[in-house]
């Protein structure tokens, strides 16, 4: 991708990469083992912080596949600055399948440091480069996709449910996640990952 073309350059929010759908596919192709591809998909499609994701793996009862929902109680949401100490995460149809597959693999998630090192290695292996690859990448990417896909379709009415699901405030979304340079193709390519989010 050319850095001279802002519509085809890597998208960065602060120091974190926001993957375009084509980069997401490319990144997944760089993950050599299926179990790790499943973990990556579930991390992205749940939009959880990695610490929440670690806690979630120990508590599969928090996932309701029928309702496409995850319940995160106070013990899972440990970030000190957040105001909402528990939350209900909505999932797309693809996201619900990804989380179901995650619980089928029975492999323990690596610790934060190892996961970060894996992300860097997979990014290099995939050819997208390591610029902006952080442990927050999956969570931030998914929130940006939700806001792009559903915010542009349903407008303002759908922004609040997205923020409640992700555990962010409106100010955070306005300052960091809205109005990113996704293309019409990016928007179209998100559809199979986004459909069924309700």
Contact present, 102 and 50 (Cβ < 8 Å): no
Cross-strand pairs, 80: none
CATH 3.40.50.620: does it fit domain 18-194?
Answer: no
Instruction: Give which of 58, 83, 56 is closest to 70, Cα–Cα.
Output: 56
3-state secondary structure of 17: strand
Distance CA 120, CA 7 (A): 24
Max CA distance (Å), the chain: 47
Q: Count how many residues are written for the chain.
A: 198
Q: Structural domain boundaries of the chain?
A: 18-194
Predicted confidence (pLDDT) per residue in 99-155, tens digit: 999 999 989 999 999 999 999 999 999 999 999 999 999 999 999 999 889 876 555
Cβ atoms of residues 44 and 138 within 8 Å = yes
Point out which residues pair with 11 in neighbouring strands: 18
Task: Tell me how many degrees the CA angle 159-20-37 measures, rounded to the nearest 5.
Answer: 100
Per-residue model confidence (pLDDT) at position 96? 98
Query: Per residue in 21-62, pLDDT tens?
Result: 999 999 999 999 999 999 999 999 999 999 999 999 999 999
Please state the pTM of the whole predicted model: 0.89
């Amino acid at each position: 991708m050319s850095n001279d073309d802002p519509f085809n350059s890597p998208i960065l929010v602060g120091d974190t990469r926001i993957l375009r759908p084509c980069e997401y596919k490319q990144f997944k192709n760089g993950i050599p083992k299926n179990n790790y591809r499943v973990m990556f998909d579930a991390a992205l499609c749940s939009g959880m912080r990695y610490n929440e994701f670690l806690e979630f793996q120990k508590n599969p009862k928090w996932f309701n596949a029928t309702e496409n929902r995850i319940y995160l109680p106070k013990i899972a949401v440990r970030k000190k600055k957040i105001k909402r100490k528990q939350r209900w995460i909505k999932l797309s149809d693809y996201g619900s399948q990804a989380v179901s597959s995650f619980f089928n693999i029975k492999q323990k998630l690596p610790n934060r440091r190892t996961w970060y090192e894996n992300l860097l290695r997979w990014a290099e292996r995939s050819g997208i480069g390591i610029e902006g690859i952080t442990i927050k990448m999956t969570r931030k990417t998914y929130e940006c996709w939700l806001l792009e896909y559903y915010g542009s379709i349903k407008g303002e009415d759908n922004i609040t449910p997205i923020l409640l699901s992700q555990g962010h405030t409106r100010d955070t979304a306005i300052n960091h996640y809205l109005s990113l340079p996704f293309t019409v193709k990016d928007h179209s390519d998100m559809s199979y990952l986004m459909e069924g989010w309700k």
